């Protein structure tokens, strides 16, 4: 993309091919715009940033939006507090139930993904998926196909139906040893990582 500056109002795309980070916005401008940091360095765009018209899905920016929960270290427990950690037996799978209707009840397709291993997410982005008692964490590596380098954790709740841009979605974690067979979408977002030269 040959962008050199200004608010982009006519970005036509048909697929996502890399990750960017939304860092700000300006609602008082005409048109209102998002400020996005690209991964191509300061020589591209406005010193590594692009401004795109807000509310119009320019460059498919709304098609796969993720948010991160960021926080500091956990507080130290009181000496009288006992902490018990329980791990799920054996490897587990993250199941994504994507539904075309609201409420996670109609037009649903399930996809399953291994946890604890590097998987190809989309484009040149890789991820490691993990499950805990209440959430699934997707550790995204936006500049890597082999889960190395800087990462961004994205957390989603488990066992809760969420509104999604094309319907609804719900995430479950199951033990692969006890899981019933899951219908896997052949066009699923993740593919097991096969090496640094794998092309999607």
- Give the chain's domains with CATH numbers: 7-60 (2.40.50.170), 92-192 (no CATH)
pLDDT of residue 117: 92
- What is the mean pLDDT for each group of 10 consecutive residues in the chain (200 residues)? 83 73 82 83 83 84 64 57 49 85 88 89 84 89 88 89 85 67 38 36
Extended strands (E) in the chain: 7-8, 21-26, 33-37, 49-53, 92-99, 108-114, 118-122, 125-131, 135-141, 152-157, 162-164, 167-175, 191-192
pLDDT of residue 78: 59
pLDDT of residue 186: 33
pLDDT of residue 79: 57
pLDDT of residue 73: 59
Q: What is the C-alpha end-to-end distance of the chain, expressed in Å?
A: 20
pLDDT of residue 144: 85
């Amino acid at each position: 993309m040959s962008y050199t500056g200004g608010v982009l109002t006519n970005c036509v795309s048909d697929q996502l091919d890399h990750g960017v980070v939304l860092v700000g916005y300006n609602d008082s401008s005409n048109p209102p715009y998002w400020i996005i940091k690209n991964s191509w360095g300061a020589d591209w765009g406005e010193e590594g940033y692009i401004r795109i018209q807000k509310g119009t899905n320019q460059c498919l920016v709304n098609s796969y939006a993720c948010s991160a929960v960021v926080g500091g270290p956990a507080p130290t427990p009181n000496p009288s507090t006992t902490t018990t950690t329980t791990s799920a037996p054996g490897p587990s799978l993250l199941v994504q139930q994507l539904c075309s209707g609201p409420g996670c009840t109609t037009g649903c397709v399930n996809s399953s993904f291994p946890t604890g291993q590097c998987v190809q997410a989309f484009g040149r982005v890789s991820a490691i998926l993990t499950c805990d008692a209440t959430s699934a964490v997707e550790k995204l590596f936006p500049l890597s196909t082999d889960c190395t380098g800087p990462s961004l954790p994205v957390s989603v709740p488990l066992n809760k139906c969420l509104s999604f841009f094309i319907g609804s979605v719900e995430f479950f974690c199951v033990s692969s040893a006890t899981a019933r067979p899951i219908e896997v979408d052949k066009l699923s977002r993740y593919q097991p990582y096969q090496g640094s030269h794998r092309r999607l």
